[in-house]
Amino acid sequence: MSMIFFACVVRVRDGLPLSASTDFHFNQDFLECRKRLKALSSILAQYPSRGTAKGRDLSIHFLSSGDIACMAICSSNYSTIMAFCFLEELQWEFAASYDTTSISLASRPYAFLEFDNVIQKVKCHFNCASGSQMKANWEKIEEELKFRPPVQLKLEDTELMNGITNGGHAGVHVEVGKLLLRTGDSRLPEPDFRVTPLGILSLVLNIMCGALNLIRGVHLAEYSFQEDHEGIGNVIAFFLPFLACVFQCYLYLFYSSARKVKTFVLFFSVCLCNIYLYGLRNLWQIAFHIGVASLSSYQILTRQLMEKQPDCGV
């Protein structure tokens, strides 16, 4: 099938992955291609701005500009022009979202993991679109590739030369047409989150607060719908913190874009609802619920990404 399988954004000077699509294929050829893409990303500074590494079934395309480079793994029969149209749009979107200072200061892999949403959106668009649907951009890229064709690399019969220096010399010339690839790492390090004991405690307390809100809300709803319809506001004030607790657990366990905004919205929802419930809850109960929400928000905002260690063969 002619399509784009994987895309990522890396920093040119050191190959640090800044963001990547999170859909994975476990075909052996694809995993081998991912390994080769990682090796290539660390030596992009030695190549021109555009390049293509052709393989039998899969190809790697890359486009560098300034501090960043966008890379993609496509089926070998996927149009080279379409691949570079895709990379150019991806590069434009990333440059519009992040400034050069943030990119330069990034110190950990996948520092801009939330950009995955944009990668997925653009990738889906190009996998479903045809050349005629993006005629203007197609003609522009086609003209540029004729004037300045991408460097052609080979995926087979190559050896790794990942920034090797020889004695006191500054560097080693990399022959155009050969991609140097021997590495024990079979794939890019996948982003993962570090779970702490305090984080687990915040999850347990959040679940408990959610359960309390749900139970009180259900009991109050039964009474309100039968006798006192004026108590509907209190029912809503119990159910909203319940939903907030559920979403706080989700934000802690899974990565989400605009995490800070969502966290603050959920925290203030819990605070406002508990203040509204003053009278049905005493001050100690309100303080407990707000305290748990504060702890959960802090854990969500401070939870760090960690990089899985590569399994290096000796």
pLDDT on residue 163: 44
Identity at 154, one-letter amino acid code: K
Q: Which of 25-39, 54-68, 103-117, 275-289 has the lowest mean pLDDT?
A: 25-39
The helix or strand, by DSSP H or E, that contains position 68, with its residue range, turns out to be strand 68-75
The helix or strand, by DSSP H or E, that contains position 17, with its residue range, turns out to be strand 17-20
Q: What percent of the chain has pLDDT over 90?
A: 22
pLDDT on residue 221: 80
Tens of pLDDT, residue by residue over 154-178, are 765 434 444 433 333 333 333 333 4
pLDDT on residue 21: 85
Residue 17 backbone dihedrals phi, psi, to 5 degrees: -70, 125
Rounded CA separation 40/8 (Å): 12
pLDDT on residue 195: 67
Tens of pLDDT, residue by residue over 246-268, are 998 888 887 677 778 888 999 99
Q: Which of 109-118, 155-164, 207-216, 296-305 has the lowest mean pLDDT?
A: 155-164
Rounded CA separation 62/83 (Å): 9
Rounded CA separation 293/57 (Å): 51
Q: What percent of the chain has pLDDT over 70?
A: 76
Say if CB 34 and CB 6 are below 8 A apart.
yes
The overall pTM is greater than 0.75: no
pLDDT on residue 149: 86
The helix or strand, by DSSP H or E, that contains position 62, with its residue range, turns out to be strand 58-65
Q: pLDDT averaged over the chain?
A: 78
Over residues 193-207, the mean pLDDT reads 81
Residue 181 in this model has a pLDDT that exceeds 80: no
pLDDT on residue 173: 36
pLDDT on residue 29: 84
Over residues 30-44, the mean pLDDT reads 87
State the Cα angle at 302 between 300 and 303, rounded to 5°. 70
Q: Which of 25-34, 38-47, 284-293 has the lowest mean pLDDT?
A: 25-34
Tens of pLDDT, residue by residue over 79-100, are 888 999 999 999 999 999 998 8
Residue 153 in this model has a pLDDT that exceeds 50: yes
Greater model confidence, 227 or 34: 34
pLDDT on residue 306: 46
In sequence order, the 6+-apart residues with CB closer than 8 A to the CB of 277 are 234, 237, 238, 286
pLDDT on residue 7: 92
pLDDT on residue 194: 60
